[in-house]
């Protein structure tokens, strides 16, 4: 295993190649452009396929075709590009085609700006296109996790025959950190359902259109069963200081790094503060969050959006805990000091002292 200083965006490609990716189709967009740049360099150098498409619409449909033929394929984009890919994402889900899509979020709606936001949460966690479907959604908070989660995503997409999204943000994508790159490559196996253009796969059919309502209904039920199984098998999260905490900050991406720092600082100052981070946004760690709520914890959801994950937290706790919403928009990211002051103010309102007792 070698350690190299690199951006999170570049780490994605090292994770993809060691995860067995064979094809990259993409169109550059800030703040994700370094992913396509690294793919152009490293995919071609390792004998894999890189192709810059004429648009995001073309890229996602190239993925549909390559995945149908058994390739382990991926793309990378940001919010405006993700919007253009919405129809293709729905078609991938309908045809049960594995793929990996990296979304390095920027502020929106519309063209917005290139600063970090987390407002693609609903578009990725709730589907993004038409129909009843879900994606696997990973939420890395470091360059190392950009590598590791992308590497893991290729295996999961093949296992469950569905799209995995690496939901990053402009800070995590652009941040430079040491990354340990695995030396072994996880190669994909022949897929019995794919169309390889040989005699063995001649009878295979890739489609998402089922003209009879009962067939379409049964297919949807099959997809939902798969998603429920994923919720049993693949939930990932981490927590710190939650056992004795009066307030537990919940966040993903860059906000989770801020929350971890604030938790460490405030606990040294005597505040009973904890931290909970979903590593997977779908499947969502709702049971773990409900457990914290049932321990009478106040949950403060920290997001760079209007409270999209907070909605899922509220659904998970069923009203048995107070949910605070800490939101920033437009590319504004709070400082550690600003976040700590807000937590301290809410602890004071609740009547808790620094030691966790009454004021």
pLDDT by position in tens, the chain (length 359): 699 999 999 999 999 999 999 999 999 999 999 999 999 999 999 999 999 999 999 999 999 999 999 999 999 999 999 999 999 999 999 999 999 999 999 999 999 999 999 999 999 999 889 999 999 999 999 999 999 999 999 999 999 999 999 999 999 999 999 999 999 999 989 999 999 999 999 999 999 999 999 999 999 999 999 999 999 999 999 999 999 999 999 999 999 999 999 999 999 999 999 999 999 999 999 999 999 999 999 999 999 999 999 999 999 998 888 899 999 999 999 999 999 999 999 999 988 756 544 43
What pLDDT is recorded for position 354? 62
Residues in the chain: 359
Was domain 238-349 assigned CATH 3.30.70.20? no
Judge if 2-233 and 238-349 fold alike in CATH terms.
Answer: yes
Quote the tokens at residue 227.
Answer: 């998603």
Question: Virtual CA dihedral for 296, 298, 303, 308, nearest 10 degrees?
Answer: 60
Interhelix angle 8-18/33-45, nearest 10 degrees: 40
Hey, where are the domains in the chain? 2-233, 238-349
Query: What is the C-alpha to C-alpha distance for residues 336 and 174, in angstroms, rounded to an integer?
Result: 19
Distance CA 14, CA 18 (A): 6
CATH of 2-233, one of 3.30.450.70, 3.40.50.970, 3.30.70.360, 1.10.3720.10: 3.40.50.970
Q: Which pLDDT score, from 0 to 100, does residue 358 have?
A: 42
User: According to the model, what pLDDT value does residue 359 have?
Assistant: 37
């Amino acid at each position: 295993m070698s350690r190299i200083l690199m951006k999170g965006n570049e780490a994605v490609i090292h994770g993809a190649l060691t995860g067995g990716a064979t094809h990259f189709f993409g169109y550059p967009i800030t703040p994700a452009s370094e992913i396509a740049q690294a793919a152009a360099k490293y995919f071609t150098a390792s004998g894999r396929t890189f192709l810059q498409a004429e648009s995001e619409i073309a890229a996602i449909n190239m993925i549909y075709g390559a995945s149908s033929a058994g390739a382990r394929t991926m793309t990378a984009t940001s919010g405006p590009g993700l919007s253009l890919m919405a129809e293709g994402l729905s078609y991938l889900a309908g045809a049960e085609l594995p793929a990996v899509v990296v979304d390095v979020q920027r502020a929106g709606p519309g063209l917005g700006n290139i600063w970090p936001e987390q407002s693609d949460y609903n578009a990725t966690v709730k589907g993004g296109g038409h129909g009843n479907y879900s994606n696997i959604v990973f939420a890395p908070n470091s360059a190392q996790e950009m590598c590791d989660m992308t590497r893991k995503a290729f295996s999961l997409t093949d296992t469950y025959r569905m799209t995995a999204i690496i939901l990053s943000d402009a800070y995590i994508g652009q941040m430079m950190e040491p990354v340990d790159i695995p030396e072994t490559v996880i190669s994909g196996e022949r897929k019995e359902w794919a169309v390889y253009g040989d005699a063995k796969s001649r009878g295979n059919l890739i489609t998402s259109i089922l003209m009879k309502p009962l067939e379409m209904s049964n297919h949807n039920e099959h997809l939902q069963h798969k998603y429920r199984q994923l919720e049993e098998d693949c939930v990932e999260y981490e927590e710190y200081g939650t056992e004795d905490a009066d307030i537990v900050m919940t966040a993903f991406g860059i906000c989770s790094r801020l929350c971890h720092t604030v938790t460490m600082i405030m606990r040294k100052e005597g505040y009973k503060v904890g931290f909970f981070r979903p590593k997977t946004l779908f499947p969502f760690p709702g049971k773990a969050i409900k457990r914290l709520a049932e321990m009478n914890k106040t949950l403060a959801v920290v997001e760079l959006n209007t409270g999209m994950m907070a909605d899922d937290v509220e659904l998970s706790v069923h009203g048995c805990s107070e949910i605070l919403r800490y939101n920033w928009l437009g590319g504004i990211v709070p400082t550690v000091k600003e976040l700590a002051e807000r937590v301290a103010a809410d602890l004071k309102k609740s009547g808790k002292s620094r030691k966790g007792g009454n004021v």
